[in-house]
Amino acid sequence: MSSSTSKRNTMILYGLENDILSHRVRIVLAEKGVSFDHITIKYENPPQELIDINPSLALPTLVDRELVLYGSEIIMEYLDERFPHPPLLPVYPVSKARCRMMIHRINSDWYTLLPQILKGDQAAKKALVDSLVSISSMLDEPPFFMTEEFTLVDCCVAPLFLRLKAWGCDIPQQATGLLGYINKIFKRESFVQSLTATEKNWLASWS
């Protein structure tokens, strides 16, 4: 680790500009009220201090004093344990395992479609929208994503939902449970605080 990095007391989050995985982490940091430096990088010209601590350039990367972490889920769980209030995973093992399973499904069912969606693949867009609509009714009653409390699951789905319109993935009006959830989560203070300038523009497109 470079001396300039090791002397810093504030957490540092390295990520690509408007990166969806970095956004997950930014929501957790905002939810916990943690101060941090957000450094956006370009793969073709990464800062030397990042190369020194993470030669693989896996992003997002979090630096907390001498600790260097990468992988959004690892970072999110670390932050939840490092700053226990408010808790973003349930205390009880069964409920905690269910949250982790939901994150696994979100990653495998939705996030795996993103490379094709970003290339404009219409079939991938339709698959994502169809899958989201299929779970809409499950969001009618719980205040958050199939749970009574705001959790890391919400931190994983909110950045994806924010980007839907930018990707050309339109949610039909009959998906009332999903749209109601989106409207609620987009008003949450930590979500608003987590946004970059571009993400704020995406949010405005929902109003």
Q: What is the pLDDT of residues 142-151, one digit of tens each?
A: 899 988 999 9
Residue 55 sits at the vertex; the CA angle it makes with 44 and 5, to the nearest 5 degrees, is 95
Look up the CATH number of domain 3-82. Answer: 3.40.30.10
Does residue 2 or residue 124 have the better pLDDT?
124
Residue type, position 24, single letter: R
Residue 173 sits at the vertex; the CA angle it makes with 136 and 131, to the nearest 5 degrees, is 35
| pLDDT for the residue numbered 132 | 97
Residue 33, judged by CB atoms within 10 A of its CB (0-12, 13-18, 19+), counts as exposed
Residue type, position 3, single letter: S
Q: What are phi and psi of 36, to 5 degrees?
A: -155, 160
Domain ranges of the chain: 3-82, 93-204
Q: What is the pLDDT of residues 15-26, one digit of tens each?
A: 998 999 999 999
Single out the residue of 80, 134, 143, 84 nearest to residue 105, CA to CA.
134
Report the C-alpha gap between 98 and 21 in whole angstroms: 21
Q: Residue 121 contacts by C-beta under 8 Å, 6 or more apart in sequence?
A: none
| pLDDT for the residue numbered 2 | 38
Residue 1 has pLDDT above 60, yes or no: no
Instruction: For domain 93-204, give its CATH number from 2.10.69.10, 3.40.50.2300, 1.20.1050.10, 3.40.50.300.
Output: 1.20.1050.10
At residue 7 the predicted structure's pLDDT band, cuts being 50, 70 and 90, is very low
At residue 9 the predicted structure's pLDDT band, cuts being 50, 70 and 90, is low
CB atoms under 10 Å from CB of 81, counted, come to 11
Residue 117 has pLDDT above 80, yes or no: yes
> What are the structure tokens assigned to 187, written together?
């008003």
Range of lowest pLDDT (20-29, 39-48, 159-168, 182-191): 39-48
Range of lowest pLDDT (9-13, 44-48, 77-81): 9-13
At residue 4 the predicted structure's pLDDT band, cuts being 50, 70 and 90, is very low
Residue 38, judged by CB atoms within 10 A of its CB (0-12, 13-18, 19+), counts as middle
Average pLDDT over residues 175-190: 97
At residue 8 the predicted structure's pLDDT band, cuts being 50, 70 and 90, is low
HEC profile for the chain? CCHHHHCCCCEEEEEECCCHHHHHHHHHHHHHCCCEEEEEECCCCCCHHHHHHCCCCCCCEEEECCEEEECHHHHHHHHHHHCCCCCCCCCCHHHHHHHHHHHHHHHHHCHHHHHHHHCCCHHHHHHHHHHHHHCHHHHCCCCCCCCCCCCHHHHHHHHHHHCCCCCCCCCCCCCHHHHHHHHHHCCCHHHHHCCCHHHHHHHHCCC
Q: What is the pLDDT of residues 51-97, one digit of tens each?
A: 999 999 999 999 999 999 999 999 999 999 999 999 999 999 999 99
Give pTM, 2 decimals.
0.93
